[in-house]
Amino acid sequence: MSDEFPAEDLSDPIALFRVWLSEAEKTELNDPNAAALATATVGAAPSVRMVLLKQLDERGFGFFTNAESQKGTQLAENPQAAMCFHWKSLRRQVRVDGTVTELPGTEADAYFHSRSRRSQLGAAASQQSHALQSRQLLEERVRELEALYPGEIPRPDFWRGYVLSPSRIEFWQEGPDRLHDRMLFLRDSAGWTAERLFP
C-alpha cells in the first residue's frame, strides 16, 4: 500500500476523509469544505453546482439548501447524487456517490440559527433558482423580512438540510508521471471494502 493509504485507514473511509479535510483546512485559502454537487432530473438530465459541507457523521455528508431550488427539486424527483471535493493545494480529490435524504427539521433549525442574522434574512428572502426581475426587488424583500422579524427569524419551511449517504467513496492523490493513487471504497450490508484502481 502507498503511504497515502495506510492499512489502518482502509476500513473506514469517513475517518480517512476527516483526515484529508483537516489537512485541507490548513492549506486551502477558501472553503476547504466546498464540493461540487451533481444531481439529475428523473429523466437523468444532470446539473452540478458548488455547495458547502456543513456536517459529517455516520449518516454521511450534510449540506443545507432551498428545497424549491433546482437541486432541491431534482433531489425530490431523483435522490441519487454525487459530490466531488477538490483540494488543489494538496493535489487531491474525493468523489462520493450515494442517496440523499432530508435531515430532521430540528437539525435544519439548529444550523439555520447558527448563521448570521443577515445570512438568515438572505436565505429567507431568496426564491432560489427562480427568475428575479431586479436586484432591487431582492433587497426590498430582505428589508421587509427584517422589519417583520426584529427578533428571531423563523427558518422557512423551504430551507432544509440534506445528507448524502455514500455507497461509493473514491480518494485520488496525484502521483509523479501520472502514476496517481486511487483508492475506491464500496459499501454493502456487511460494511466497507477497499480496492486500488489504476490511475
56-77 pLDDT, tens digit per residue, is: 999 999 999 999 999 999 999 9
Half-sphere exposure of residue 126: CA atoms within 13 angstroms, side-chain side:
14
Q: Are residues 39 and 85 in the same domain?
A: yes
pLDDT per residue over 116-126, tens digit each? Answer: 999 999 999 99
Q: Are residues 75 and 36 in the same domain?
A: yes
Count, in order, helices (H) and strands (E) of the chain: 5, 9
Q: Are residues 123 and 162 in the same domain?
A: no
Q: How far apart are CA 111 and CA 96, in angstroms?
A: 23
| Domain harbouring 72, CATH code | 2.30.110.10
Supply 13's cell numbers.
Answer: 473511509
Question: Domain for residue 19, yes or no?
Answer: yes
- Burial of 5: CB neighbours in 10 Å, binned 0-12, 13-18, 19+: middle
Q: Which residues have C-beta within 8 Å of that of residue 104, sequence separation ≥ 6?
A: 161
Question: Domain for residue 2, yes or no?
Answer: no
Q: Are residues 28 and 70 in the same domain?
A: yes
Confidence (pLDDT) at 7: 56
Q: Are residues 129 and 193 in the same domain?
A: no
pLDDT per residue over 174-186, tens digit each? Answer: 999 999 999 999 9
Q: Are residues 144 and 176 in the same domain?
A: no
Q: Are residues 17 and 38 in the same domain?
A: yes
Is residue 152 classed as helix, strand or coil in its secondary structure?
coil
Residue 84 gets which letter from DSSP?
A: E
Q: Is residue 68 within 8 Å of residue 77, measured between CB atoms? A: no
Confidence (pLDDT) at 1: 35
Q: What is the domain range of residue 15?
A: 7-112+157-197
pLDDT per residue over 15-26, tens digit each? Answer: 999 999 999 999
Band of the pLDDT at 93, cuts 50, 70, 90? very high
Confidence (pLDDT) at 195: 93
User: How many domains would you assign to the chain?
Assistant: 2
Band of the pLDDT at 4, cuts 50, 70, 90? low
Give the mean pLDDT of the chain: 94
